[in-house]
Chain A
Amino acid sequence: MAEVVVKGGKKGAGKPDMTPMVDLGFLLITFFIYTTTFSKPNVMGFATPKKEDDPEVTEKVDIKVSNTITIILGEDDRVFWYQVPLQSVTADDLVETDYSAEGIRQAILERKAKALDQNVWTVIIKPTDDATWKNTVDILDEMAITESDKKAVVDLQRVEKEAYYTKIGKPMPVE
């Protein structure tokens, strides 16, 4: 329907039609949303031991067993922990848990509370070859949550591998 154009002269001239401008505005918004990254990723600091400090040596430093916990990250998001001397670890010592807040976090917190000396409380993280990067980051994240500042990511020793493969009921791969 034709609209009656009010030839009001001076009064009407100050009121332009905004519709095309709104269209343009939203078009630009759409364009920017599509072409930009919005959220920046987070970072988590992580340091590996320097070459000169051999992990074997670090491990052999006499820390009382009750002040440490060793966490083995296994296949298919399975996780095990133990708190016995490294040399004597067997499949029976491995306690299986999961990555939830009631699982591994609770285990760490309980053990930490029972530690003889809170200042030397150390968590040793041992990802197996079957573990994924997500598992590793999840555990590192638990370290931040449980405030276990002393932590080390190291390889499994032979006895631990034996215990782990016995526990999951698989033959140990030949190296």
Chain B
Amino acid sequence: MAAVKPKRHGPAMDMTAMCDVAFLLLTFFIMASSFKSEETVTIDTPSSISDELIPETDICMVTIDPNGKYYFGITDPSQRDDFAKVLSDKYNLGLTNAEMVQYTSLAEVGVPMKKLKNYIGLTEQQRAKVELEGIPLDSANAELVDWVKLYGETFRGSKIAVRGDGKTPYPALKNLFDEFGKADLNKFQLITKTEN
């Protein structure tokens, strides 16, 4: 009779539990997050104790970078192509359908309307390199107000969020509130991050 050899296993462990954990985490992350849009500027917002979260939809965002340039963005990506269509029709920008779809991926725009078509036509890498001039907002040319007003007309009951970098000088914000005040836009949602 042959002697019974002990079974020789390599170091193998049961992966089932680990697999469960991995997919559980995956599910959690998918549910608890939303996709990032291509960000034009990095903004470090001030913090506050407010615990009210930004609404998912019906809100447009005016961003002011530390140099005092203004950007316009729409938080809900599904509203972006509708807005692009209205904008293109009203101001004869001549955006094609493909360009409107392309606009959907942009978190915010920092070029005047006239240059929007050209800007959307660039590739992502080119866009990152372009020196943005910001959307004009002064007493001579308050174009940013047109953007925001048009958004408000397209989506009734929408709100305006203001996202300023902590280092933005106050006069840039004052100018914004003054110009918007002239257009009878007085209610804003200031974007902040949670205090930590």
Q: Do A and B bind each other?
A: yes
The answer to whether B32 has its CB under 8 Å from any CB of chain A is yes
Q: Which one of A113-121, A133-141, A163-171 is at the interface?
A: A133-141
Number of interface residues of A (CB under 8 A): 49
Cα distance A30–B103 when bound, in Å?
Answer: 27
Binary A-proximity of B114-146 (CB < 8 A = 1, otherwise 0): 000000000000000000000000000000000
Cα distance A129–B54 when bound, in Å?
Answer: 29
Which chain B positions have C-beta within 8 A of A25?
19, 22-23, 25-26
Nearest-CB distance from A40 to chain B (Å)? Answer: 5
Query: What residues make up the interface of B, taking CB atoms closer than 8 Å to A?
Result: 7-10, 12, 14-16, 18-19, 22-23, 25-26, 29-30, 32-36, 45-55, 64, 161-174, 177, 180-182, 184, 186-194
Query: Which A residue's beta carbon lies closest to that of B182?
Result: A51
Q: Is the CB of A35 within 8 A of B36?
A: yes
The answer to whether A162 has its CB under 8 Å from any CB of chain B is no
Nearest-CB distance from A17 to chain B (Å)? Answer: 7
The answer to whether A4 has its CB under 8 Å from any CB of chain B is yes
Inter-chain contact count A-B, CB under 8 Å? 167
Q: Is the CB of A21 within 8 A of B15?
A: yes
A19-59 residues at the B interface, CB under 8 angstroms: 19, 21-22, 25-26, 28-29, 32-33, 35-51
A82-135 residues at the B interface, CB under 8 angstroms: 127-135
Nearest-CB distance from B176 to chain A (Å)? Answer: 10
The answer to whether A174 has its CB under 8 Å from any CB of chain B is no
Known contacts A33-B29, A39-B194, A48-B186, A131 near B23 by CB under 8 Å: no
Query: What residues make up the interface of A, taking CB atoms closer than 8 Å to B?
Result: 1, 3-4, 17-19, 21-22, 25-26, 28-29, 32-33, 35-51, 73, 127-138, 140-141, 144-145, 155
Q: Is the CB of A37 within 8 A of B48?
A: no
Which chain B positions have C-beta within 8 A of A134?
46, 166-167
Which chain B positions have C-beta within 8 A of A131?
169-170
Q: Is the CB of B192 within 8 A of A29?
A: no
Known contacts A4-B7, A38-B33, A132 near B170 by CB under 8 Å: yes
Query: Which A residue's beta carbon lies closest to that of B177?
Result: A48
Cα distance A45–B173 when bound, in Å?
Answer: 15
Known contacts A43-B161, A47-B187, A36 near B166 by CB under 8 Å: no
Which chain B positions have C-beta within 8 A of A21?
15, 19
Cα distance A45–B32 when bound, in Å?
Answer: 25
Which chain B positions have C-beta within 8 A of A48?
177, 180-181, 186, 188
Known contacts A29-B29, A134-B46, A45 near B36 by CB under 8 Å: no
Which chain A positions have C-beta within 8 A of B171?
129
Known contacts A18-B18, A42-B50, A133 near B191 by CB under 8 Å: no
Nearest-CB distance from B74 to chain A (Å)? Answer: 15
Cα distance A32–B28 when bound, in Å?
Answer: 10
Q: Is the CB of A37 within 8 A of B33?
A: yes
Which chain A positions have C-beta within 8 A of B186?
47-50
Cross-chain contact of A129 among B36, B55, B168, B169 (Cβ < 8 A): B169
Nearest-CB distance from A162 to chain B (Å)? Answer: 19
Which chain A positions have C-beta within 8 A of B22?
22, 25-26, 29
Which chain B positions have C-beta within 8 A of A42?
48, 50-54, 191-194
